[in-house]
Amino acid sequence: MNTVDSTRRKEAMHALNPFAPGAGRQPKELVGREQELEIMDRIIARTKAGYSDRGLVYSGLRGVGKTVLLLRMKDMAASQGLITVRMEATGNETHDYELLFDGISKAILRERRGTLRQKMLDSLKHVNEVSFELGVIKTSIGFGNEDKGISSDSLRLEMMVEELCRELKKEGSGLFLFIDEFQVMSSDLMGTIIGLQHSMGQEDLPFYVIAAGLPNLPGVLTKSRSYAERLFQYKRIGRLPEDETRECFEKTISKINVRFDDDALNRLIELSKGYPYFIQAYGSAAFDESESSPIPLSAVIKGEPIAQASLDSGLYESRWQRARPLEREYMRAMASLEKSVCSSAEIAERLGRPPADVVRVRKGIIDSGLAYAPERGLLAFTVPGMGDFIRRAAPSEEQTYDDRA
């Protein structure tokens, strides 16, 4: 085959690439999450039948597909005519309230049933009128030990959710709030949303928080409101086992009548380690380096540095840049231990400092979502392979801190 024919064949293969590397992009096949989708199916069925249920909280490392799962669940609810709102928490309370109010308003406007849409718009108009009055007099009301105070934004959100859910229940519908990166939300807003899940459940109204975040999320929720542990079904999302990783690679390309040869597939399974984000990156690179089916091991090998560069830029480099210089120094010491989980004491020892001297740095890394504490006194990276990246790429500690932009 001459060079021109080879290039054309490659271009034809590229056009059919079914892999979708990138944060939150929907893969062609969602393998290994059948149980989670069944839970969502049950909640949807109960809502349409007029019953309420608990919310859902998914936690796990970055790259395991939490965002993709939220998006799929949102699509499931929307396809059944339920009202869905999706947001990614930013940690800026004012901005997050704006995202919520804007999302709810747009969700109402998307409703195709004219009568229901008008009823919800009327409810929204009433709530906004009351909220304006409350805002003018700067209302702040305390409701107990855990609820320090309710701002006018909180009251507006609570009234909005309650009034909408009363109308939705009459129609066999419900309001589903999908929140990504829930662990970074401000404590006050998080407490308001947890309180809403609680009060709406007590009144048997169809409001559901379906949230995802890092492994520390369940603890953050319980710290915000102690009763949060009873309001949600908590599910830990991890990497896929080998058989499901194999299935994901095979099913992704089977619909376009392409397959991997055995050696290529085994190498992809080894490289991806079962992380869905890695599966998409390595699968896409191997596909682009192939000219025919079955895709050979040589295409996987050629694609490895391309996939690695994609992971570096998409997962690792931006997070390293977001860390302050002292945090980078701490993470480098952490990576040098070459452990999946490190003790705070041994990290401090590697830095040559007493543990008490680096407590604030450790807290900064956790607050930034770069690491989490699986147990008291222990620390692990939230991004799989972060330690390997630091040791391999030796990123500079002199980069300007970008305020997590």
Of 200 and 135, the one with more pLDDT? 200
pLDDT digits (tens, 9 = 90+) for 305-337: 999 999 999 899 989 998 999 999 999 999 999
Q: How confident is the model at residue 401 (pLDDT cuts 50, 70, 90)?
A: very low
CA atoms within 13 A on the CB side of 186: 11
Per residue in 147-202, pLDDT (tens digit) is 444 468 898 899 999 999 999 999 999 999 999 999 999 999 999 999 999 999 99
Question: Would the pLDDT of 380 be above 80?
Answer: yes
Q: What is the pLDDT of residues 62-103, one digit of tens each?
A: 999 999 999 999 999 999 999 999 999 999 999 999 999 999
- How far apart, in whole angstroms, are the C-alpha atoms of residue 392 and residue 401? 21
Task: Return the residue matching tokens 């990246």.
Answer: 389
Residue 331's pLDDT is 96
Contacts of 341 (CB under 8 A, 6+ apart): 374, 378, 379, 380
Longest dimension (CA), the chain: 79
Encoding tokens for residue 45? 């069925």
All domains in the chain, ordered by first residue: 33-236 (3.40.50.300), 240-318 (1.10.8), 323-394 (1.10.10.10)
User: What is the Cα–Cα distance from 273 to 278, expressed in whole angstroms?
Assistant: 8
The mean pLDDT of 362-374, rounded to a whole number, is 93
What's the whole-number mean pLDDT along residues 345-355? 94
What pLDDT does 133 receive?
64
User: Please, which pLDDT band fits residue 142 given cuts at 50, 70 and 90?
Assistant: very low
What does DSSP assign to residue 364?
Answer: H
* pLDDT(228) > 70: yes
The amino acid sitting at 321 is: Q
- C-beta separation of 31 from 255 below 8 A: no
pLDDT range class, residue 404, cuts 50, 70, 90: very low
Burial class (CB in 10 A: 0-12, 13-18, 19+), 109: exposed
- Residue 214 phi/psi, 5° resolution? -70, 170
Give exposure, 171-185, as e/b (b: 16+ Cβ within 10 Å).
Answer: bebbbbbbbbbbbbb
Residues 6+ apart with CB under 8 A from 266: none
What the block records as the tokens of 115 is 């009568």
